[in-house]
Amino acid sequence: MDTFAPMRHDDRPTPAEWRVFGARLLQAAGLGSLGAGVIFFVAANWHAWGLAGRFGLLEAGLMLCVVVALWQPPPLRAGQAALLLATLLTGALLALFGQSYQTGADVHELFFTWALLALPFAVAALSGAVWAVWWVVLNVGLALLCNRLALGHFFWLVLDDWSRDPATLLMLACLVNLLGAGFFQMLRHSRFVEATPLWLVRFLLSIGLGYGVAASLPHMTDHSGGVVGLYALISIGIAGATLARHRDVFPLTVLAGCWITISTAWLAHSMRLDDIGQTFILAVWVVSSSAAAGKLLIHLVHQWRGSTEDGVAS
């Protein structure tokens, strides 16, 4: 269970924690399979059921999930499972609506609508798993937005002309996920700590920093200097907060991997890789920077673990 207890000497999961994780993973897989089964059942009987039958089946499933959640409200497991399934069925209903009536909406707009409609389920579930599913839906919409938004779209009216490049959208997606990670990190200091597990914060942090890496690659934009500078400021802030807390090296680990990736891409871009010697130099840089980062991270792990144990002993 995710608590604020001091770090153990060995932070690896215990056998009991592995069993709990395995049971919850199987429960999540079962719920996902159940949701997929309902969707595939509708698809397999597309012509037999008719329009009313398709909508009726999915709406009945959604209403049943809501009834179960009201009968066994979260944080009870049955209520959380029902709201997770309700989140999946909301997406199925939207997909059916779009397929049946041909609304003309872009795919990313459907995912954003799905996230908006499922937001009450995620809030009510008090579950990191339901929040993770909700953020996956939102990030699929963000990824589609970054990939398919044309320069003439209404979205660009709120941005300056110089910003009209894919890196701007990628940085917006980066900020959305990092703000989500920061929000859940704050909730971990409240009574909602059980609904905001540490892995959820790490999940959003990793996705957000990953978007930032994509935005900082040399081929993404003609204004790479500004984008890379903004990402550097964000990275410095995250690193400073992590070093101040002296608890978890995971953010530093992700940052190290991100900046090794960015620096390697820029080095390869500037060298053009015309001969084997340049490729060798690039390989040396990757190995040496990774080794240096690993050595520093291991040192911090031992140092912070030792200071925590000394504080507990005193």
Q: Lowest mean pLDDT: which of 28-37, 114-123, 178-187, 259-268?
A: 28-37
CB 192 within 8 A of CB 127: no
Task: Name which of 217, 238, 241, 240 is nearest 227 in CA terms.
Answer: 217
Higher-scoring residue by pLDDT: 9, 294 = 294
Q: Lowest mean pLDDT: which of 100-104, 240-244, 309-313?
A: 309-313
Beta-carbon contacts of residue 216 (< 8 Å; ≥ 6 apart): 167, 224, 227, 228, 231, 262
User: pLDDT tens digits, residue range 263-311?
Assistant: 998 888 887 767 777 788 888 999 999 999 999 999 998 888 866 554 4
pTM: 0.83
For residues 224 and 85, give the distance between their C-alpha atoms in angstroms, rounded to a whole number: 42
CB 49 within 8 A of CB 30: no
CB atoms within 10 A of CB 261: 16
Q: For the chain, what are the domain ranges?
A: 1-148, 158-314
For residues 306 and 233, give the distance between their C-alpha atoms in angstroms, rounded to a whole number: 30
For residues 179 and 209, give the distance between their C-alpha atoms in angstroms, rounded to a whole number: 11
DSSP calls for 174-216: HHHHHHHHHHHHHHTTSTTGGGS-HHHHHHHHHHHHHHHHHHH
User: pLDDT tens digits, residue range 31-81?
Assistant: 878 878 877 877 777 777 777 878 888 888 899 999 999 999 998 888 999
Q: Mean per-residue pLDDT for 231-241?
A: 94
| pLDDT for position 44 | 75
Burial of 309 (0-12, 13-18, 19+ CB in 10 A): middle
